[in-house]
Amino acid sequence: MSRCIQSLKPTIASSKRRRGVGSTARRVARGLALACLVGSASPSLAVQVGEPAPACSLELLRDGSRFHSEKMAWGPVTLVDFWASWCAPCAHAFPFLDTLEHSLEEHGFQVVAINVDENRPDAIDFLSRHPVDFTVAVDPTGECPAAFDLPGMPSSFLIDHNGVVRFIHRGFRPAVQQQIRAEVEALLAETQKTDSHQP
């Protein structure tokens, strides 16, 4: 449990430094802390590579419309990225993820970025400075970040066409761009191979 709690300290400390902590942020923090505690008692509850991705009920940040992802139906191949406006690596990740989706979306790849800011205007301001075309959503309940049991910020989960988590990345560095692209291309190749064998 200690490693899980340590990974949450930057997120919790950042929220405490901001004035007027919102109820959504408190729910996210409580949810993440609960995930740590529950995970320490039963590690199988944390999302691991090879397990189905949790279902999430989200709101699109731009217009507030609902976006619901059932288990086994994130796909075809989806990179779910958890981010916040105060997360410096997130600003570096966004242009890469946007380019990656543009180059591979015709093959069935999509990015879904889930914001965990306490104040929605902070997220909107971030997007005005770092505009992207991929799906950007929020979870007002804080349940989705807790369900994924975030190891840090940013955290990304690469999900295959069966809705299974295949790769997990904590943080972002330019050096991992080629690795992430290779992982996405490998999963897309699996999808195409599966489709070719279907009658």
Report the chain (199 residues): mean pLDDT per 10 consecutive residues.
35 39 45 35 62 89 75 71 95 97 95 93 95 92 88 90 93 95 96 61
Rg of the chain in Å (alpha carbons): 16
State which amino acid sits at residue 50: G
Strand order in the sheet with 66-69: 66-69, 56-60, 135-138, 109-115, 77-83, 155-159, 165-170
| The pLDDT value given to residue 196 | 52
| The pLDDT value given to residue 38 | 31
* Beta strand residue intervals within the chain, DSSP E: 56-60, 66-69, 77-83, 109-115, 135-138, 155-159, 165-170
Instruction: Tell me the C-alpha distance between 192 and 20, whole Å.
Output: 49
| The pLDDT value given to residue 195 | 56
| The pLDDT value given to residue 98 | 98
Write b or e for each residue in 118-149: b if 16 or more Cβ atoms lie within 10 A of its Cβ, otherwise e. Answer: bebebbeebbeebebebbbbbbeebbbbbbbb
